[in-house]
Amino acid sequence: MNVPALSVVMPAYNEADNLPDVLSELRGVLDSLGLSWEILVVDDGSTDGTRDVLDRLGEELAGLRQVRLGSNLGKSAALDSGLARARGEVVVLMDADGQDDPAELPTMLAAVDGGLDMVTGSRSANRRDRLVKRSTSRVYNRVTRAATGIDAADMNSGFKMMRSEVATALTVHGELHRYLPVLAAWSGFAVGEVPVTHRSRLHGTTKFGLNRFWRGMMDLLTVKFLTQYTGRPFHLFGGLGLLSGMLGGGLLTWMLIERLSGATIGTRPALVTGVLLCVVAVQLLSFGLLGELISYGNARRKRPPPGREVPVGGDRRLAQLEDE
């Protein structure tokens, strides 16, 4: 099976009106690059005839592959499905609404050839979205930069290009498609961004809602934990446990001094609070140690099993020593 140079993964949910124009324009740009290519459109449980459009376009457009999800599982699931099937040396992610300009692919490809493992198309300079969406996105990007340390102006852009090694290393679930640059950087890859042209949606309405903003903020906590404490959970739970233990110990020490001084402490809130904090400390420390055991077990499973395979005919090194 020939490996294409470029794989374009395009999640689509109710984009029947946009796909013919988007795929036609994309095909023209890909052909002009002089590289072999494939397009994977992931139908994320569409209900508007997207399936029929893809069936028709599949007969007309060589190199088009389609993946169908039985229900609307979300963009992360659609991307994960597409990335698992992409065969190209370089993988492109773009939306099916026509807002991502395929003419920017040569610029992004030059950035990858220049040493980046993942490049994001930044829409910050000329974004064509509603004021509410632009405003929430700016807040989201500022908070994400502060929390992750990744200097990116448009983290949430769906227009991305990456090497196949990055696509293989990424596991996209939940709503973590917003944090692909963070996950890639955490995995040791070089990430960056280039400014790109952003256009208005061709047809239909955006699937964006304010609830996605709040879900994104919650997912930021998930990413922060995954990137900072996956391999060292005791640093988080143990630190919180020690803090709780010190506060509880301090309160109980105070109550002990009060009791030795003759005061009645049985009904004092500080006594109950101190005992509670100490119990919480023991629980947090236990969680941290259990997390370390799980992390160690996962790391051991990734390592080769103990021992080594003996060549056919026996261990030649030992036989050579016996002859000597």
Identify the pLDDT of residue 323.
Answer: 52
Tokens found for residue 297:
């077990």
Higher model confidence: residue 42 or residue 173? 42
Q: pLDDT-based confidence at 179, cuts 50/70/90?
A: confident
What pLDDT is stored for residue 306 in this prediction?
47
pLDDT at 234: 78
pLDDT band at 310 (very low <50, low <70, confident <90, very high): very low
pLDDT at 24 over 80: yes
Average pLDDT over residues 31-55: 90
Does position 321 have pLDDT exceeding 80, yes or no?
A: no
* 144's tokens: 């994400």
Q: Would the pLDDT of 93 be above 80?
A: yes
Residues with Cβ within 8 Å of 33's Cβ and at least 6 positions away in sequence, in order, are 6, 105, 106, 109
Mean pLDDT of the chain: 80
Structure tokens at 148: 């992750």
Percent of the chain with pLDDT over 90: 28
Contact 46, 15 (CB under 8 A): yes
- Is residue 315 scored above 50 in pLDDT? no
**Per-residue pLDDT at 75 exceeds 60:** yes
Does residue 319 register a pLDDT over 50? no
What is the pLDDT confidence band of residue 174, given thresholds at 50, 70 and 90? low
Note the pLDDT of residue 215.
65
In this predicted structure, the answer to whether residue 265 has a pLDDT above a threshold of 60 is: yes
Segment 187-239, tens digit of pLDDT? 888 898 998 887 877 776 665 555 665 666 666 666 666 666 666 777 778 88
Buried b (16+ CB within 10 A) or exposed e, 29-56: bbeeeeeebbbbbbbbbbeeebbebbee
Q: Is 151 helix (H, G, I), strand (E, B) or coil?
A: coil
